[in-house]
Structure 1
Amino acid sequence: MRILRKYWEALTFQKKMIFTYLPLALVPMILLTVLSSLIYSNQITKNTDSNVANTVHLINDHLNTYLSELTRLSVLPYYNNKILDIMAKTGNISDSEFNQTQILLSQAIRNPRQDLQSVFLYRRDGQIFSSSIYNANINYQYDFQNSPWYQEAVKANGKVVFTGKVNDARIINRPEPAFSIARAIKVYNGPILGVVIIDVNFTGLESIFQSANLGNDSNFVVLDQNRNVIYSKNDRYLSALQGLDPHQKIVKSNGEKLIVNQLESADTGWKIVGIVSESELNAGKDILYNIIATVSAVILVVVLMVSIFLSNTITKPLKTLRRLMGSVEKGNFNVAFQSLNGNLEISQVGRAFNKMNQRIDELINQVLEFRYKQKEAELNNLKLQIRPHFLFNNLEAIRALAEIDDREGIKEITTALGGMLRYSLKKQNSKVKLREEIQQVHNYIKIEQIRSGNTLTMEYDEDPALLNCLVIPILLQPVVENCIHHGFDQADGMKWIKLEIKACEEGIRIKIQDNGIGMKEDELAMLNAYLTGEANELAFGDSGIGLKNLHTRIQLEYGSPYGLSLTTVYGSGTTVEIRVPRIEGGI
């Protein structure tokens, strides 16, 4: 770093200008190149995708028209009563009937069309009639009833079925590839008499796709319902069709990016796929890049010439000032700008920076001191609020015992109360062990059991590993006191309180549960809002004052993640959960 600094300081004025202004020229040029390329590529891609989609739709319209003409040929048996009569029969037929049917089929296929390859009539009892434009060998032993196309035609119940590319043994040594159209023959609601199937070569499809052209690096493919290839204009990109998602627009094949558009025919269920390579889109990019490179070179030359005539003596002090500001942002105020000589404007900025930095440091120290004193005063004030509240409640208990002249009870309750007050005075300005807080609860419960005539029971579930942890004093007793005086004020019968102390991820979780009257949902919501400071007072009494004071003490001591939370079921009791950090206090 020192070498670089010396190298920079040793540079001439002209070189500093070059290193300073080169980014100003390079960044716009790079952005211009990147944005132009992105905009151009995106627009060309959109146009190509639109062109492919329009071409695919046009091909689909022509294909549907062509297949509709073929579909009308499949209703040939319905226009000839003799064929229907022969198809309705079962068993052997005469030679004259067989020959007559063969002649009718030959007449149907020997029309001016060049795409019809053969016609078959498969009767339900296994009888086969056929005619072909080739001298083909018909396989009369072919098990057509178990063939997929026959079963699909029967299932279609008289509707036309397009079977895709022919791959069966109906004709031995088929001279050229073909696809088929099949239809089940039936009269009204009667039984299926058989199936007519017409084989069609690909001359008709070739004529449709011949006029469609998206460039040298493109292809059109027709797929059947099982995504098998029926027809492909050429052999390009067929491997890209494997695993092609129906909604996928962009695919990669052999490292080449392809734009794909797919359209499924509603009539046949066939899918037409148009594919064009991205290389077709890149033809005009080279010209654009050459123009951008030329303009960028001119801008660079201009920037270099201008930088020679400009002054850059303020660069170094400005960088120094920026570095010092970064240190101030990170909290280091023990910095000062030293270069106060030389350039008048920079010196004035440096003096202002030093004064501002010194003033900020003073203000921060004042705020920290004020917050510390404020926190200390709030803690002392809260502790003073707790003592009168506690004394008032327990003096009321002693008064009640005096009214019934229970001297032994008064003796026990005053002894326990005196121990609690000594603990409170002794521990109010220090941390205490959790076991001492539990003992404080023992003393308080003893007082309440005497006062209530032993109708109160207390359960403890403590983790022994937590008993030596340090907490703030007077942590548990205010919550237990609140259970008795507000949870049981309308309850009859046996009353019980359970104190549970367990470890948790945040530290220590203390639960104090009672079987008192509980609270309604709206009361619980108001109390939680009062605890968190969202409400300044309670609308249903003062039962939350002690809990509010305790919650505030915990958050002032440990921070906002800790404090109190309440859950309740009206008529069944309330649970107060206290969360404090785990601070080990030794044995």
Structure 2
Amino acid sequence: MSALRRYWETRTFKKKMILTFLPLVLFPMLFLTVLSSWIYSNQITKSMESNVSNTVQLVNSHLDTYLDELTRLSVLPYYNSQILNIMQETGTISDSDFKQIESLLTQAIRNPREDLQSVSIYRRDGQVFSSSIYNADINYAYDFKNSLWYKKAIAANGKVVFTGKINDSRIANRPEPAFSVVRAIKIYNGPILGVIIIDVNFTGLESIFKRVDLGKTSNIIVLDDQQQIIYSKNGRYVQLQPRLATLTDQVQDMKVGNETLIVNHIDSANTGWKIVGIVSEAEIRKGTAILYKSILTVSAILFLVIVIVSVLFSDTITKPLKALRLLMGKVEKGVFNVSYQALNGNMEISLVGRAFNKMNQKIDELINQVLESRFKQKEAELNTLKLQIRPHFLFNNLEAIRALAEIGDREGIVEITSALGGMLRYSLNKQDSKVALIDEIHQIQNYLRIEQIRSGDALVVKYDIDEALLTCITIPILLQPVVENCIHHGFDQAVGTKLIRIAVKPYEKGIRITVADNGMGMVSGELTKLLAYLTDETNELTFSASGIGLKNLHARIQLEYGISFGLTLESEGGAGMTVHIRIPRVEFRPHS
């Protein structure tokens, strides 16, 4: 619960609105969709089961009608006295009587029907009379009395009997599968005189079943009284014959692998055959799939519309708030020249926006006042620093000139006076707030030349300057505080050659001026304190006075160019110090 609460509390107002609004609409819609789909699916299933049942009953009715016609053909001997007379005899008959009976049989099957293959009469003494629509090859040695169809006909005692597919050797050259209609011939309660058997192909059954359509994944199967398949509309599910033979319930579901079948059957009272209708649930799913697809499409469209409406509705509330938040973010970064533009229809937010504008304006005024005050303060400190440095620096250099005069070093006197004069001209002439970078380089070169002469050339200076940057402008007295720090603090206790490297190079945001020395450097703790003092994290610097000039320079740069610029320091105890001065690249543009 606490995790859910934290999640909810960290969401934006817009997300909270959407997460609240969407479930209120989506859950009822999903419930109605699932409920309607379930109801429709059940109705489709019941409708399909009813359809299969009605179809099986209709097929059985047509089959009974069709078989009744065949039944009437089996009573042919009773309507011909000559056949009955010959059936009552035994022994050999004349050729004329034989031909006459076969002629009568031929006339019986020579009609427009296409389903009759042959008709045969087996007299009790073994005499066979037969006629067919093809040149049937009759097996007169066939032991018909031991055949299943003969025994069934005798047991039926004059009633018609229907057999399944014929698989005996009674006719050797049967052209196509057939079933038989069999009836025992007898006169009233007299003895059985013989049996008439009519062979029928399956064209008649096919004409009945071809009008039946339960779907592409369905079948109609007919089983005889021996539970053998007589007819199958197609080859589907015939492997289920053993299971179909044991069907008891009229309608039941049957599982075959991953497929579920709806099975309906009816037992024919006239034939003893079993008519089975089989439909796969895939047929049902076709109808439901269309419904589901339609429902899902409509639901998806509705959901998309709801999402769009929710987003648009939430935008009308959150968009002004977002705009106000972005403006506040800019103010946090120090950009105060922004204002909130009131949007129509959001009175409360407009009031907040106007209050923000007033607050921002007041903050901007206060910051400008503070900046102006600090700038004037730093300018005063800089001017004071100049006044404090100049007499002391002049005194030291005059002493150096006197010393050179005593030893008669006129060349040194010329160099030091020339460098000192250049520095004085720079101080007098460059009173503007901006100077060319090349002038700053010349100023520091003069200063370092004086220091080299005073140190007896123990000081070595190396320059690495990109001349393309020398025309850029910057604030004055940029390098002298850093170089003075190297000489007066870095080399205070150093022995041997004193090396200063000055590099001026471009970098991604402007110009980087690097001043590095090989002096005493600073240990990690002292450097950390100096950096904190430099960035105003602390106002105390008890271990050295070297940071005052650096802090003044860092503050001047950031006041002029912003917090992205200023000083960065690198140092290790005994390994010197490196100071990076970052300023923007501002090209000199002469006034037109």
Give TM-score scaled by structure 2 length: 0.48
Give TM-score scaled by structure 1 length: 0.48
Structure label with greater radius of gyration? 2
